[in-house]
């Protein structure tokens, strides 16, 4: 048999391939079979090893970060474990310790001997090297942590202070054993694996009981040992055990297909592809699925799994068996339904980590490779008829991309790439298919032809039912990228559907297919960072909640609550002042309370704008005047914001009680920052277009609205008064929060106002809902740098302020929001 891998070689006989399941009788191949494929390296770097390396490294960082504010908790837990275990009989504890010591020494040696017996000396050598690196690394880290050059907090969380000494930060022996075991592995013996890791865990607990290690130090030791192992394995690579062309030929012979030639034709994200000529003249398309290729893009698929709801998800993350079963089942189901798809002639397992699927070749070209002249209405009709057949048999493809549709020489449409398909698909899944097929076909045919012929085949009702699913999130990555390049393609498809079925407007709102939006993930991350920083400041200052409550001033706390309530009154005045029409006072107040709930899930200042606009529309005010009124209030608010920063900067600098700083520096810095942002936005075309699209609806009618307001002194005074009062009450709330923590704090109201106005500007620029995280950091830093307050006062004060102005108002805001919805006011 001739094997060509960048050259040529000869293999005379067919011997069983390592890693391939052995058949009952050895498969004997003919003497000459051509296998043409690029040369394979002896060692490869596996993507799963890199991902595990990054994951373990991230876990080390998370453990250390959480250990800093939780140092007292871990110390108490260590003490509780020690006190509870010492109640057990000493003979029992000594026996357990002895047995685990023996097990953790004998099992690694036994595994190494077994690997050597199986002629896997290189793996044993890799295990020894990884163990040596772990031993050396932990020893050097221990020396560094115990030295004067390391941060004090690192030694504090990794060590345990005893009566006469301090424990070692990292346990050298445990790290060495874990690195060795991770490289050696346990084969297919889960019972031995469970027993071994149980022994290691028991040994670690014994060292904790005996006072030889700290809890956090043991956790970091375990993670460090695995990090070293995965890092070495990725840097060194593993012996290449991927199936080769010879393995593919062997499996095809095992299936009775008698190949005479096999050629490698490329790789996709998760597969390798071959084509094979058989003895009876057939040409086969062969797909090899292996776990290494499936790991490519795992992070993206995991992100999609977290972000999307169940029906919008496509397939398992790393289940090779599930992928093979799903593709084979889809192939059989489609052919049984009379839908054209290449015939699956063989499915074979190559090893525990690889499988092969062989299809009969269908000569044709994918939809993306057809010329414009070949994109006829007849072909488009056939494509939609294919989708009609799939709906009839409740089968969903779930990846209707341009390369998934093959057109043969007779103009017939064939369906490819079946791994994501679903049998007994729900109505929602078939609508998702229809929506994705619409977007895919519109890329080649245009929205008008696509929707027109789709409505003729599926019916206008089916097209209208798919309208809410027409979202970028349901599209495949390639289709989504192409749609973004085609301006307003999805919107034009929606308009065409509504032209055929105007009554579909009631379902035109997109269905919620996302479990978590990127904005929500950003909010959660920012909130966690802010909470961690608060806890860190409290832990580092030894300031507990009980101490804060014991020294807090209840009178200043009442002032802070009063100021927080008054902000909603001021916001209602702002809205009333820029609307010529009369608005109900109570309902106007409730809308501002409801905005506190909406703003928590929208970028700062955006949620309230949308809610107020919707409220004005429900009050019978036209969309144009409503948007103009809200835009005018935003424009005036921005101008007053800058003016108040300048005014309070001057007052704070000339006052006698405030912390002295140069007002010109603050004002100039803010103005320069605004100027730089404006210049970058104007200079960069995508940013300019985005800003115009976002701001135009709010500000295109602002000037006429301001002129109308200026002609009514009463309305003007209410609008301007509310704008100023809103900032004053927010600043008062922050100032009262500071004085609640420290009634004798040396900070003036004017200085606090500058701090609030500056932090609010930062929170509005960064698109995080309610400025979560960013505002906390900005305010705490400004109170320290500008206000001169210590962190143990500024951090809790900011926490109280945000609690009163952002987090607690969510509760009454929710009830106000639902009440206004029931009353038809929103």
Low-confidence ranges of the chain (pLDDT < 70): 1-31, 69-94, 96-97, 162-165, 188, 269, 292-318, 502-551, 600-609, 622-629, 631-632, 650, 652-678, 690-712, 762-774, 791
Give the strands of the sheet with 34-36, arranged side by side.
Answer: 9-10, 2-4, 34-36, 259-267, 272-278, 283-290, 354-360, 344-351
Q: Which two tokens stand for residue 742?
A: 């420290």
How many angstroms separate the CA atoms of 608 and 570, rounded?
14
Maximum pairwise Cα distance, the chain: 101
pLDDT of residue 20: 36
Q: Which two tokens stand for residue 581?
A: 């029409």
pLDDT of residue 664: 45
pLDDT of residue 291: 74
Q: Which of 640, 622, 632 is nearest to 695 (CA)?
A: 632
Q: Which of 48, 96, 122, 98 is nearest to 299 (CA)?
A: 48
- Alpha helices by DSSP H, listed for 426-488, are 427-445, 447-458, 460-465, 477-485
How many angstroms separate the CA atoms of 216 and 75, rounded?
9
Q: Which two tokens stand for residue 34?
A: 């051509």
pLDDT of residue 636: 75
358, 252 Cβ separation under 8 angstroms? yes
Would you give the DSSP letter of residue 380? Answer: H
Judged on CB neighbours under 10 Å (0-12, 13-18, 19+), 163 is: exposed
pLDDT of residue 348: 92
Look at residue 359 and give its three-state secondary structure. strand
Q: Is 26 left (phi over 0), alpha (psi -120 to 50) or beta?
A: beta
Phi, psi of 413 (to 5 degrees): -100, 130
How many angstroms separate the CA atoms of 329 and 337, rounded?
12
Phi, psi of 571 (to 5 degrees): -65, -40
CA-CA-CA-CA torsion sign (739, 741, 745, 747): negative
How many angstroms separate the CA atoms of 342 and 331, rounded?
8
Please count the CA atoms within 13 angstroms of the CA of 530 that sit on its side-chain side: 25
Rounded alpha-carbon distances, angstroms, from residue 434 to 375, 437, 455, 497: 19, 5, 11, 12
Please count the CA atoms within 13 angstroms of the CA of 391 that sit on its side-chain side: 21
- Residues 288-304: b if buried by 16+ CB within 10 A, e if exposed: bbbbbbbbbeeeebeeb
Query: Cα-Cα-Cα-Cα dihedral of 550, 554, 557, 561, to 10°?
Result: 130
How many angstroms separate the CA atoms of 277 and 502, rounded?
54
Rounded alpha-carbon distances, angstroms, from residue 712 to 585, 638, 706: 19, 21, 10
Name the pairing type of β-strands 354-360 and 364-366. unpaired
How many angstroms separate the CA atoms of 654 and 750, rounded?
10
Q: What is the pTM of this model?
A: 0.61
């Amino acid at each position: 048999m001739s094997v060509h891998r960048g050259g040529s070689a000869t293999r005379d006989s067919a011997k069983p391939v390592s890693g391939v399941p052995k058949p009952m009788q050895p498969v004997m191949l003919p003497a000459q079979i051509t296998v043409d494929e690029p040369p394979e390296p002896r060692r490869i770097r596996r993507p799963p090893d890199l991902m595990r390396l990054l994951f373990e490294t991230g876990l080390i960082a998370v453990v250390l970060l959480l250990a800093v504010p939780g140092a007292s908790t871990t110390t108490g837990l260590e003490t509780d474990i020690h006190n509870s275990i010492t109640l057990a009989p000493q003979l029992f504890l000594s026996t357990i310790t002895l047995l685990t010591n023996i097990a953790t020494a004998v099992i690694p040696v036994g595994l190494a001997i077994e690997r050597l017996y199986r002629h896997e000396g290189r793996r044993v050598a890799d295990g020894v090297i990884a163990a040596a690196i772990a031993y050396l690394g932990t020893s050097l880290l221990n020396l560094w942590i115990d030295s004067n050059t390391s941060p004090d907090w690192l030694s504090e969380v990794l060590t345990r202070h005893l009566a006469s000494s301090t424990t070692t930060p990292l346990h050298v022996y445990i790290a060495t054993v874990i690195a060795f075991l991770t490289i050696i592995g346990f084969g297919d013996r889960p019972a031995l694996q469970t027993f071994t890791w149980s022994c290691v865990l028991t040994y670690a607990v014994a060292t904790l009981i005996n006072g030889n290690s700290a809890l956090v130090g043991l956790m970091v030791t375990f993670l460090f040992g695995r990090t070293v192992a995965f890092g070495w394995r990725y840097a060194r690579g593993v012996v290449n055990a991927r199936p080769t062309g010879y393995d593919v030929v062997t499996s095809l012979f095992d299936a009775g297909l008698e190949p005479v030639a096999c050629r490698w034709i490329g790789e996709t994200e998760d597969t390798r592809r071959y084509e094979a000529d058989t003895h009876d003249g057939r040409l086969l398309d062969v797909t090899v699925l292996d776990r290494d290729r499936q790991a490519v893009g795992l992070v993206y698929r995991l992100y999609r799994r977290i972000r999307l709801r169940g029906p919008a998800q496509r397939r398992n993350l790393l289940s090779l068996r599930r992928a093979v079963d799903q593709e084979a089942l889809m192939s059989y189901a489609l052919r049984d339904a009379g839908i054209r798809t290449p015939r699956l002639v063989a499915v074979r397992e190559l090893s525990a980590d690889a499988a092969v699927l062989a299809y009969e070749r269908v000569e044709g070209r994918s939809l993306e490779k057809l010329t414009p002249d070949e994109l006829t209405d007849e072909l488009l009709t056939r494509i939609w008829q294919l989708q009609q057949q799939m709906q009839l048999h409740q089968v969903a493809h779930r990846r209707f991309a341009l390369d998934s549709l093959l057109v043969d020489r007779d103009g017939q449409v064939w369906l490819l790439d079946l791994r994501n398909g679903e049998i007994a698909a729900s109505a929602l899944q078939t609508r998702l298919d229809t929506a994705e097929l619409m977007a895919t076909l519109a890329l080649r045919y245009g929205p008008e032809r696509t929707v027109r012929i789709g409505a003729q085949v599926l019916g206008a009702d089916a097209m209208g039912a798919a309208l809410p699913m027409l979202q970028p999130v349901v599209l495949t990555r390639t289709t989504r990228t192409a749609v973004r390049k085609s301006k307003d393609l999805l919107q034009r498809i929606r308009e065409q559907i509504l032209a055929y079925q105007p009554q579909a407007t009631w379902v035109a709102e997109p269905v919620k297919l996302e479990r978590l939006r990127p904005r929500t993930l950003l909010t959660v991350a920012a909130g966690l960072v802010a909470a961690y920083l608060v806890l860190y400041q409290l832990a580092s200052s030894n300031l507990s909640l009980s101490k804060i409550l014991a020294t807090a001033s209840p009178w200043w706390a009442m002032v802070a609550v009063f100021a927080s309530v008054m902000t909603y009154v001021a916001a209602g005045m702002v809205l009333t002042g820029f609307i010529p029409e009369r608005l109900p006072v109570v309902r106007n107040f409730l809308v501002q309370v409801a905005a506190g709930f909406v703003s928590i899930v929208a970028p700062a200042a955006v949620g309230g704008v949308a809610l107020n606009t919707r409220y004005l529309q429900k009050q019978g005010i036209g969309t144009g005047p409503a948007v103009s009124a809200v835009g005018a209030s935003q424009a005036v608010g921005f101008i007053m914001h800058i003016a108040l920063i300048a005014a309070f900067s001057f007052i704070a600098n000339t006052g006698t009680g405030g912390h002295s700083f140069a007002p010109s520096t603050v004002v100039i810095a803010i103005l320069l920052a605004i100027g730089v942002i404006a210049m970058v936005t104007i200079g960069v075309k995508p940013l300019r277009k985005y800003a115009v699209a976002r701001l135009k609806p709010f500000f295109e009618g602002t000037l006429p609205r301001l002129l109308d307001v200026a002609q009514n002194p009463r309305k003007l005074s209410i609008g301007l008064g509310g704008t100023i009062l809103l900032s004053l009450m927010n600043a008062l709330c922050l100032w009262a929060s500071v004085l609640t923590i420290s009634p004798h704090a040396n900070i003036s109201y004017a200085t606090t106002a500058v701090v609030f106005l500056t932090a609010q500007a930062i929170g509005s620029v960064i698109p995080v809902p309610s400025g979560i995280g960013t505002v906390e950091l900005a305010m705490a830093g400004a109170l320290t740098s500008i206000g001169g307050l210590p962190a143990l006062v500024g951090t809790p004060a900011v926490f109280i302020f945000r609690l009163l102005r952002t987090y607690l108002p969510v509760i009454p805001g929710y009830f106000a929001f639902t009440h206004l919805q029931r009353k038809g006011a929103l």
